[in-house]
């Protein structure tokens, strides 16, 4: 037991959890915490330029590393500015621990300066949230917060710390001994495994549908092993990109509204859909009446709430994905001969070749398909790609060939513009040896472009490749396709000169005005030793196609 105040105790508790970095912005009700930070030796604080940027950076850190990301802000507007980023993490199951200051306990409920009821605001967008009125409770609450963020289905947790708690002293033991029941990895039952094995062994046209749950359970090796064992094509959700190397013969790419045509057709034709760690998003399924219409469906998920929520399920396994896949692989060895090639796999391979998207455009302005091809030609398999949201995101999902889990980071459930750049910052802090590229649209990049100051100040050398069409492109696409080209509120007009903007912050800035310039300019950006912005003007009239209209059938996309 050592006497210390709440601010010192907070950092001792964070150190006990192995925290190395915090993204945040100070303010009046966290000055005691920042005073303790002055003497902190192990944890690096990265001062962002907006609290939303801090939340997204913590989220990107978590997704790239698999460990909780941490953000810290003051009360009132500082804390409320976190909420978009925390909801984004909640929708995508990212373990973020968000810490905010609060007015003194005696002033809560009096409309004090910079007071906000963060307990209520965070309640529906976190796994759990706490307010610490007594410093003696702080060590146990911090430990519990990290346990909750990472246990079962991961997600964000919020801790609100009134200013008086930050200053209050007590004799404290850190790390705390917490008596709550620790959540163990959920084991599948033998009966659940046996039924899945039977269904897989007898399927003639199976498809594996893999999502972000495979990433969070570190189950990619098992997923690939299962696919190879039963020679089953694999499709993924947006957040599942990379769980199977996308150059693997069995990988068909992303499913859904903006998915690969071969993936959509495979799911429509399959007789067994083996879904692992997915939530059957409306963007993935389209019209649920026609989703996998010929298939029996197996659904493995750690959260029972997701099973049967939107899609009928014939067999469910509520368990950790890695444990479930291991059990199925062990049991299948007596049913399936490794290396078997079926007519179904041959058909999938034929469709993949016939429906391969075109990327070899030479036009100026550059087609985005060619832009992504050129970007990928420069990058090695260790590169981490983040995306903004909109057309740029879907072009990246479509044309980036990802070979490793945690190497494609994008805002899935919430679709948050402004996510990609600060997420890239967090990913680079988590994985400093990996090249980190943010594929951006001009509109989305501008949402958090102020974080250029953060990356320059902290020498976080990420590269943002801006696919610049001077539009809010995805909204424009919907207006063109479904609203008689009545383009309303989508023209960005005089966007900044992104080269000058980068240089104004002290970053590297460059422009690739035609396809042949993209790869050399990107190499120059990566070699600059600075954060970088590469402006790539693209065809403003190009759409993300094929596209399944909202509520449409996966096998009836818009092609032109």
Q: Which of 12, 40, 51, 168 is catalytic?
A: 51
**29 CB neighbour count, 10 Å cutoff:** 28
Q: Which of 113, 309, 346, 482 is catalytic?
A: 113
Q: Outline where 123-269 has alpha helix (H).
A: 138-150, 163-167, 190-202, 212-216, 220-230, 261-269
Is 114 tagged catalytic?
A: yes
How would you label 357-391 residue by residue, b for 16+ Cβ within 10 Å and e otherwise?
A: eebebeeebbbbbbbbbbbbebbeeebbbbbbbbb
Is 113 tagged catalytic?
A: yes
Cα–Cα distance for residue pair 490/476, rounded to 1 Å? 6
Q: Which of 163, 326, 373, 521 is catalytic?
A: 163
Closest by Cα among 46, 118, 127 to 89: 127
Is 474 tagged catalytic?
A: yes
Cα–Cα distance for residue pair 331/321, rounded to 1 Å? 15
Tokens, residue 233: 């094509």
Cα–Cα distance for residue pair 129/148, rounded to 1 Å? 10
Rounded to 10°, the helix 321-332/220-230 angle is: 30
Q: CB neighbours of 282 closer than 8 A, spacing ≥ 6?
A: 310, 550, 551
Helix/strand/coil for 51: helix
Given a contact cutoff of 8 angstroms between Cβ atoms, the answer to whether 379 and 435 are in contact is yes
Rounded to 10°, the helix 368-378/515-527 angle is: 40
Torsions phi, psi of 197, nearest 5?
A: -60, -45
Task: Dihedral sign for Cα 387, 392, 393, 399, please.
Answer: negative
Is 421 tagged catalytic?
A: no
Cα–Cα distance for residue pair 542/357, rounded to 1 Å? 14
Given a contact cutoff of 8 angstroms between Cβ atoms, the answer to whether 418 and 26 are in contact is no
Cα–Cα distance for residue pair 546/560, rounded to 1 Å? 7
Q: Which of 474, 476, 498, 530 is catalytic?
A: 474
Cα–Cα distance for residue pair 540/24, rounded to 1 Å? 36
Cα–Cα distance for residue pair 174/181, rounded to 1 Å? 19
Cα–Cα distance for residue pair 35/163, rounded to 1 Å? 12
Rounded to 10°, the helix 343-354/261-269 angle is: 150
Our CA dihedral for 234, 239, 245, 249, rounded to 10 degrees, sits at 20
Closest by Cα among 352, 408, 401 to 375: 401
DSSP track, 277-325: S----HHHHSSGGGSSTT-EEEEEES-GGGTTSSS--SEEEES-HHHHH
Q: Which of 114, 401, 457, 517 is catalytic?
A: 114
Q: How would you write 339-365 as a 3-class SS string?
A: CCCCHHHHHHHHHHHHCCCCCCCCCCC
> Residues with catalytic annotation?
51, 113-114, 163, 474
């Amino acid at each position: 037991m050592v006497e210390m105040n709440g601010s010192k105790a907070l950092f001792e508790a964070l150190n006990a959890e192995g925290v190395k970095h915090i993204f945040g912005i100070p303010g009046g009700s966290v000055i005691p915490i920042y005073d303790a930070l002055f003497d902190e030796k192990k944890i690096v604080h990265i001062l962002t330029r907006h609290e939303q940027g801090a939340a997204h950076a913590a989220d990107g850190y978590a997704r790239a590393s698999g460990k909780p990301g941490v953000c810290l802000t003051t009360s009132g507007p500082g804390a409320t500015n976190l909420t978009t980023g925390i909801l984004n993490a909640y929708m995508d199951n990212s373990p973020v621990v968000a810490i905010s200051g609060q007015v003194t306990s005696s002033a809560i409920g009096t409309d004090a300066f910079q007071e906000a009821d963060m307990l209520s605001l965070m309640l529906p967008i976190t796994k759990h949230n706490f307010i610490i009125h007594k410093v003696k409770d702080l060590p146990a609450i911090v430990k519990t917060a990290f346990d909750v963020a990472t246990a079962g289905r991961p997600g964000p947790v919020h801790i609100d710390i009134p200013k008086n708690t930050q200053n209050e002293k007590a004799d404290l033991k850190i790390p705390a001994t917490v008596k709550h029941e620790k959540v163990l990895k959920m084991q599948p039952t033998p009966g659940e495994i046996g039924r899945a094995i039977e269904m897989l062994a007898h399927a003639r046209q199976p498809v594996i549908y893999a999502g972000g749950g495979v990433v969070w359970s570190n189950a990619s090796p098992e997923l690939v092993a299962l696919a190879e064992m039963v020679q089953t094509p694999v499709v993924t959700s947006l957040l599942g990109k990379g769980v199977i190397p996308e150059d693997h013969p069995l990988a068909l790419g992303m499913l859904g509204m903006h998915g690969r045509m071969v993936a959509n057709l495979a799911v429509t034709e399959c007789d067994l859909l083996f879904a692992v760690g997915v939530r059957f998003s409306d963007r993935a399924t389209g019209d649920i009446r026609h989703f996998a219409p010929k298939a029996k469906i197996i659904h493995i998920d750690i959260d029972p709430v997701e099973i049967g929520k939107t899609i009928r399920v014939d067999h469910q396994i509520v368990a950790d994905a890695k444990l479930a896949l291991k059990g199925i692989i062990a049991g299948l060895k007596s049913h399936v001969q490794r290396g078997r090639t079926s007519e179904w796999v041959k058909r999938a391979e034929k469709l993949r070749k016939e429906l391969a998207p075109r990327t070899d455009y030479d036009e100026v302005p550059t087609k985005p398909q060619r832009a992504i091809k050129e970007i990928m030609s420069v990058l090695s398999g260790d590169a981490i790609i983040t995306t903004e949201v909109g057309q740029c995101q879907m072009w990246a999902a479509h044309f980036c060939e990802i070979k490793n889990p945690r190497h494609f980071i994008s805002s899935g459930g919430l679709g948050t513009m402004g996510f990609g750049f600060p997420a890239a910052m967090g990913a680079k802090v988590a994985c400093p040896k990996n090249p980190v590229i943010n594929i951006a649209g001009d509109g989305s990049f501008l949402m958090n472009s102020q974080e250029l100051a953060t990356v320059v100040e902290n020498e976080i050398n990420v590269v943002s490749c801006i696919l610049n069409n001077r539009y809010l492109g995805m909204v424009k696409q919907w207006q063109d396709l479904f609203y008689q080209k009545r383009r309303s509120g989508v023209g960005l007009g005089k966007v900044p000169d992104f080269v000058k903007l980068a240089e104004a912050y002290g970053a590297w800035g460059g422009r690739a005005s035609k396809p042949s310039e993209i790869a050399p300019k990107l190499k120059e950006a990566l070699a600059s030793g600075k954060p970088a912005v590469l402006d790539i003007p693209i065809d403003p009239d190009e759409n993300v196609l094929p596209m399944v209209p909202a509520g449409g059938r996966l096998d009836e996309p818009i092609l032109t």
